[in-house]
């Protein structure tokens, strides 16, 4: 299974990365809708920490989600080599905490 096909456990259920990305997008949109300024400030602080520790940050799929950029299909295959950052810099965990 490739990076884009792997199944993940979310709240005790297996989901595809595609479903997880969709759920995280919805959560991030809801956070911006509830308090855009606070959410924006948190995202800026969080993404700055990632940039400091991971010079290859643009190779992570969830990086693009949290900053609001898009990835075309060709880039998903050739340029995105990782899904999420480990530990305290996990984009998934950050978005879920908003």
- The model's pLDDT over 50-90, given as tens digits with 9 standing for 90+, comes to 999 999 999 999 999 999 998 877 777 788 999 999 999 99
Is 31 a member of any domain? yes
Q: Is residue 1 part of a domain?
A: no
- Would you say residue 27 lies in a domain? yes
Does residue 2 sit within a domain? no
What's the pLDDT score for residue 11?
Answer: 53
Residue 10's pLDDT band, with cuts at 50, 70 and 90, is low
Handedness of CA 39, 40, 42, 43 (dihedral sign): positive
For residue 91, give the nearest of 68, 62, 53, 71 by alpha carbon.
62
Domain membership flag for residue 26? yes
Show the domain range for 69: 7-97
Residue 73 lies in a domain: yes
User: How many structural domains does the chain have?
Assistant: 1
Given a contact cutoff of 8 angstroms between Cβ atoms, the answer to whether 89 and 54 are in contact is: yes
Residue 77 lies in a domain: yes
Average per-residue pLDDT in the chain? 87
Residue 53 is predicted with a pLDDT of 97
φ and ψ at 93, to 5 degrees? -65, -35
Is 0.85 surpassed by the pTM of this model?
A: no
Question: Residue 92 falls within a domain, yes or no?
Answer: yes
Note the pLDDT of residue 24: 96
- And the tokens for 2? 């490739």
């Amino acid at each position: 299974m490739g990076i884009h096909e792997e199944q993940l456990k979310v709240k005790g259920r297996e989901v595809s990365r595609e479903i997880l990305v969709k759920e995280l997008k919805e959560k991030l949109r809801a956070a911006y809708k509830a308090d855009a300024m606070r959410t924006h400030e948190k995202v800026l602080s969080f993404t700055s920490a990632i940039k400091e520790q991971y010079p290859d940050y643009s190779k992570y799929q969830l990086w693009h989600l949290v900053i609001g950029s898009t990835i075309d299909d060709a880039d998903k295959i050739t340029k995105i080599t990782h899904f999420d950052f480990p530990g305290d810099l996990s984009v998934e965990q950050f978005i879920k905490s908003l």
